[in-house]
Amino acid sequence: MGKIFLALICIFINVAHSLDFVSRDFFGAKINWTGMSVSFQITEKLPRVIIDTKDPEYGKPGTAFNISEARNKAQLKARENINMQLVRSIETVRVNDEYTMIQKIQADPSFRERVNEFFQLEKSELKVNYNKDRVTVESVLHLKGRYGLLNYIDLEFGTEDFPNLESEEIVLPAHYTGLVLDARHLDGEPSLFPRISTEKGLEIYSYHHVNKNSVIDHGMVSFQSNPEQALQDKRVGNNPLYILATSALGKNRTGFAINTEDAKSLLVSKETRKHLKRCAVIILLQKK
């Protein structure tokens, strides 16, 4: 009975993980836009173990004296390659519609200094697995949290109030605990700091409207692909407003537009605006 229960738990975890919105970059790294992390996996062959002092290869580079040394050498090589790869992958992450990380680093010296601080931390989470003569190392770099990348991005967070979109038609404003924006029908792309506007171009949600600490703890939005999962996500509470996006915005399609009447319903309540300020937003995109 215990084994069956454990198997069911493992299946549940795997299914839940498969619902995450994950993209892969050119180098093969996985960017999890739901959990906000970047990971890369590499497998290295263990160096040959030579204990016979008469062997002509004894003590030469690329060999080891025992299995422990062989494992350590292979793991070290894998970690060095992964660290280099993760830096390259982080540089490809899109900050917003205007910049990728590397473009922003090149354009903004202060931004570059802060991101360099993040890279020097080396706070990645390692998962190591040995199988016969090989070692597989996966490194997971978190974007959110105290040691995450978002803690080292300095933008003008929370400098603007949400726009006033009062509507005479709304007598008793509904209080929503968050927003689920469905953009699965659009060819949109994820970014660290997407913006949401009305179809007339009025910006109603951006990093200017949110609390910096909430961004660090949770990310500005969570990108997902399953509406049932999103509506039950504690991030958006027990009564989120579900809105259909009307278009994807920007040259890289990282922004999203909604109907003005939907924007009025979203912003009319002071309580709802408080939840939005704390980043209670999920954007649904179609997996590619």
The rounded distance, in Å, linking the Cα atoms of 37 and 51 is 42
The rounded distance, in Å, linking the Cα atoms of 168 and 204 is 19
HSE at residue 107, side-chain half, CA atoms within 13 A, is 8
Model pLDDT, residue 170: 54
The predicted-structure confidence for 177-218, as pLDDT tens digits, reads as follows 999 999 999 999 999 999 999 999 999 999 999 999 999 999
DSSP result, 85-131: HHHHHHHHSB-SSS-BHHHHHHH-HHHHHHHHHHHHH--PEEEEEEE
Mean pLDDT of 118-124: 82
Q: For the chain, what is the mean pLDDT?
A: 89
The predicted-structure confidence for 58-117, as pLDDT tens digits, reads as follows 878 888 888 998 898 888 898 888 888 888 999 999 999 999 999 999 999 999 999 999
Single-letter code of the amino acid located at 262: D
DSSP state of 183: -
Model pLDDT, residue 12: 42
The rounded distance, in Å, linking the Cα atoms of 257 and 97 is 14
Quick one: pLDDT band at residue 6, thresholds 50, 70, 90?
A: very low
**Angle, CA 52 vertex, CA 48 and CA 53 arms, to 5°:** 110
Separation of first and last alpha carbons in the chain: 39
Question: Is residue 9 scored above 50 in pLDDT?
Answer: no
Single-letter code of the amino acid located at 92: T
DSSP β-bridge partners for residue 94: 100
The rounded distance, in Å, linking the Cα atoms of 264 and 81 is 50
The rounded distance, in Å, linking the Cα atoms of 104 and 190 is 17
The rounded distance, in Å, linking the Cα atoms of 163 and 160 is 9
Give the gyration radius of the chain's Cα atoms. Answer: 23
Domain coordinates in residue numbering, the chain: 21-152, 179-284
The predicted-structure confidence for 276-287, as pLDDT tens digits, reads as follows 999 999 999 998
Mean pLDDT of 10-30: 70
